[in-house]
A and B are shown apart, each in its own frame.
Chain A
Amino acid sequence: MLYQPGHAMGRRPARVAVTGIGMVSPLGIGKAPHEEGFRTGRSAFRRVTLFDTGRQRVHLAGEVDLPAALPATRLSPREAHRMDRSGRMVLLAAHEAWMQAGWEGVLREDERRVPLVLGTTSGGMELGQSYFRAALGQPPDRRGQVTRMMHYQPQRQALDVASALGLSGPITLVANACASGANAVGHAFQLVRSGRARRVIAGGYDALCHLVFAGFDSLQALSPTRCRPFDASRDGLMLGEGASVLCLEDLDDARARGAQVLGEIAGYGVATDVHHLTQPEPTGVAAWAAMEAACIDAGVGPADVGYVNAHGTGTPANDGAEARAIMRWAGSRAGSLPVSSTKAGIGHLLGAAGAVEVAACLMALAGQWLPPQQGGGDPDPACGFPLVREPAAHAFEWALSNSFGFGGANASVVIRRGS
C-alpha cells in the first residue's frame, strides 16, 4: 500500500546513506569528470548547436555531448532507440548510480519495488516541440506523432528508467520548476527516513530546448556576457542541461552489506514564496525559511555547516534575495562561511540543478575541497560571506544546498560527509 493508516510509523527514524551517484552535465558523463570539474571550477559553455539562436540576444549554454550508445540495460535496442535526449541523460545517470550502489547484485526480483523519484521542468519537451511542428504542417504530418506524444511526457522517461533497471516501485515526478531536483532528493530522503522505503532512487533531469531557452530570454533572465553569481555587476543566468541520480538507502542496511557510503542526506526543508510567479521576495524570507527548516531537520546550525552551495543563478533578483537569506540564516557565522554557485561553470540545469548540486556537495565533502566559481569581479554588497573563487582544500562535515524556482518553490538539503 502506498498509504494505509499506521503503516511504517512504528520504526525509529533511519539515517539515510547515499551509496550511488550518477552524473551527466556539460562537464561530461560520469562522476570522474564532475569531481575534477567542480574541484577546479571548470567552465563548460559553448555556442548552442541544438537549435537556432540566431534571432536571440544570447547564444551560449552548457550542452552535453551524449555518447552514441546507451549502457546495456533491460531495455530492448528498439526501446532505447526511441528515448529522447532528456530520457537518455537520466538513464545514463541512473545506470551509473545503480551500478555504483551495487544493487543489481543485491536485490532479488521480488525486492525491486524500489521507489523512483525524479524532478524535471520540461520532460521530453524537445519531442513536444517536434509534435507541434508536425501537427501544424500542411497537411499535418502524422508519421512518428504517436511516439512523440508518448515519449514527450515525463512519466515516460521515468517508466523507461524503471524498466531499464527492472524496477516496479512507485514513480513520483516532482515538477516544482528549478527546485524539482532538490525536492526529489528531499522526498526520497523522507521516504527512507520514515521507513516507508528501505531504498529509493532519486534525482533530476532536463534537456535544453528552444521553448525554455526562448522563455528565459523573453524574461531577459539570460546573461549576454557570462554567468557571475553574486557579482555586483551580474547580468543573468546561463542555461545548461543534464541529470543527476542518487541511490539512497537506510544507513544500517548499507553498512550491513558493506556498501561504500558516499555521504548522507541529513535534512530537508521547503517553503513557498507567495510574492510573485517568477520573482523572489526581495528579503529572501522563503529562502531563509527553507534553509532554517532543513538545518533543524538535520539537527545542525550555521556553526556546523562548512559550505553552502547556493542556488546562485546569476540573476540580479535571485542572488540579492538569496544573499540576504544566507546572511539572516548564518548570522555571525556568515563572515567565515564559504559560499559558491556551481552554476557559474555548468549553467542552470533547471529540474536537474538541485540533484546535481547535492551530488557536487557529496563529492566536495568526500574529497574535502570547496567548489570554486572562477572569475567574477566585486561581490554584491549584500554578500557578507566569502565567495569561493579558487580551488581550495577544506575540512568540513556538513554542507547545505539551496534550490529555488519559479512559482516560489524553495528547497534546501543538508548533506553530511560519509563516515
Chain B
Amino acid sequence: MSAVCIHGWGAVSPAGWGAGPLWEAIQGRRVIDPVPIPWPGRDGVFPVRKVPVPAVRAGALAHPRLRRASPISQFAVAAAMEALGAHQAIVTAPSFRLGIVCCIFTGCIAYSRRFYGEVLQDPSTASPMVFPETVFNAPSSHLGAVLGARAANYTLVGDEGEFLKGMALAAQWLAEGVVDGCLVVGAEEADPISCDAMGQVARGVVVGEGAGAVFMSLQPGAIELGAVTSPEAFMDRRGRLMALARTRRAWEGVAAPGSLLVGNDPAPAWGPWASPAGVLGEGLGAAGAWQAVAAAEALARGASPTPEVVVETAGSNEQVVAAVLRRTTPVLPTLLAGTIELDGACLLDLLPQSLPSQLHRPGLPGSMPS
C-alpha cells in the first residue's frame, strides 16, 4: 500500500493569514498581543488573540456562500485553499473525489450565542439567516461548496486532539479508495462565551482563533504521515497525565530517537522555537492543526534536526493523541536559501509529483455526474 503523504498545508492564526506568518511567529518567539473583546449585555472584557484583518482578502472568501458565514468558516476556507495551492485545479475537476474532514471544538459559537440571545428575547423573530450558520458542519459545508467537493465530508467534534484523529480518518479513506485526496482542517473562532468558559477551568488562558489545514493523498510527496497513535481518553487531570504517558510510550515505539517534539503545552519551547500555543494562544479546534502545520514547516525548511517530527496534542477535556510526520526527500537548496516565499503549496510546486486527474471510479461513494 502506498504511504499517505502531506502535499500542502495552510494556516490562519493570530500571527496572520498563511503558514509563513505562523512559522515566523514561532521561530521569532513573537507572542501575539491579545486584544480585549466585550460581551454585549455584560460587564468586562475578555483578552483574545484575534486573527488580524487581512491586508488583501483571499479571492475564495468572495464566494457567495461566505457572505454571511461566521469567522470560523472563513478561516477554514482560507487555510484549506492555501493547503491546496496549485492543486486546486486538479481537485476541483468533476472526476476528482476530494474528501473533507473538518475538526472543531466549540465550532460556530459566535452565531450560536447570537441566535440564542435572539431566542431569549423573542423566538418568533429569531433570524433564519443566523440559525443555519450555528450548525457544527456549516464550515465544512461552505468549504465543500467553494471547492465543489461532492465526496465524503465529515465534521468531527472533539478537543484539541481531534485534528490528528482527522488525519487518521483521511488516511483511512485514502487507503480504502473512498476519496482520491483529502483536506483535513482544524478551525475555531474566539467568542466571549468560549473565553468565559475556558476561564472556568483554566484561569489565565488566552484563547486564540484561526485554522490550519493539510492536503493529503496517496501520491508520493515530500512529507509522509508515519503514524497516528490511538487516542488515550481521560476524564480528569490525573487521567490526563496517565494518557500522556501512554501516548509517549506509543510514539516512542515508532519515531526515531531524538525526533523533534511539537507539543501543545504553551510553556515549553520545542527545539529553539516557541510552542504554537505559547505565541498564538489556546487554539482549541485549531490547536492541533497549527502544531501539524508548524511541524510540516520545520521539515520542509530543514529546520528539524531529524527527518521525523512528532506532533503530540494533549487535549483539554477528552484525549491525548500524537502523530509522526516524516520527511521523505532531501530539503531543497532553494528552500534553505530562502529564495522563495515558502508555504506548503509552494513546496509542492517544486517537487516532482502530481496528482492524477483520472482516478474516478463510477459508482463509488462520492462519484457524481458532472
Contacts and interface: CB of A to CB of B under 8 A. Distances in A.
Given A3-B225, A190-B176, A218 B128 contact: yes
A40 interface: no
A9 B225 CA distance: 17
B334 interface: no
A215 B141 contact: no
B156 A175 contact: yes
Nearest to A183: B154
Interface in A189-209: 190, 194, 196
Given A2-B321, A129-B116, A215-B131, A405 B124 contact: no
A405 B137 contact: yes
B272 interface: no
Interface residues of A, number: 82
Interface string A126-163: 00110111011000101001100110011110010011
Contacts of A407: 135, 137-138, 140-141, 144, 153, 155
A215 B150 contact: no
Nearest to B106: A153
A50 to B, nearest CB: 14
B227 interface: yes
Contact of B153 (A135, A150, A170, A409): A409
Given A4-B254, A176-B153, A271-B150, A289 B367 contact: yes
Contacts of B148: 274
Interface stretch (A24-32, A290-298, A353-361): A290-298
B45 interface: no
B41 interface: yes
A3 B200 contact: no
Nearest to A274: B145
A176 to B, nearest CB: 5
Interface stretch (B9-17, B229-237, B341-349): B229-237
A406 B141 contact: yes
A146 B198 CA distance: 9
A113 B126 CA distance: 44
B189 interface: no
Contacts of B317: 150, 153, 155-156
Nearest to A406: B135
A37 to B, nearest CB: 29
5 contacts: A135-B42, A176-B137, A219-B132, A408-B141, A408-B144
Interface of A: 1-6, 9, 53, 55-57, 113, 120-121, 123, 128-129, 131-133, 135-136, 140, 142, 145-146, 149-150, 153-156, 159, 162-163, 168-177, 183, 187, 190, 194, 196, 210-211, 214-220, 268-274, 277-278, 285-286, 289-290, 292-294, 296-297, 405-409
Interface of B: 1, 3-4, 39, 41-42, 65, 100, 104-107, 112-113, 115-117, 119-120, 122-124, 126-128, 131-138, 140-142, 144-145, 148-159, 165, 167-169, 171-172, 175-176, 193, 196-197, 200-201, 225-231, 233, 235, 250, 254, 317-319, 321, 363-369
Given A171-B318, A296-B364, A406-B135, 14 more contacts: A2-B165, A132-B117, A135-B42, A154-B157, A172-B169, A190-B176, A211-B112, A211-B116, A218-B127, A218-B131, A219-B131, A220-B128, A270-B153, A271-B366
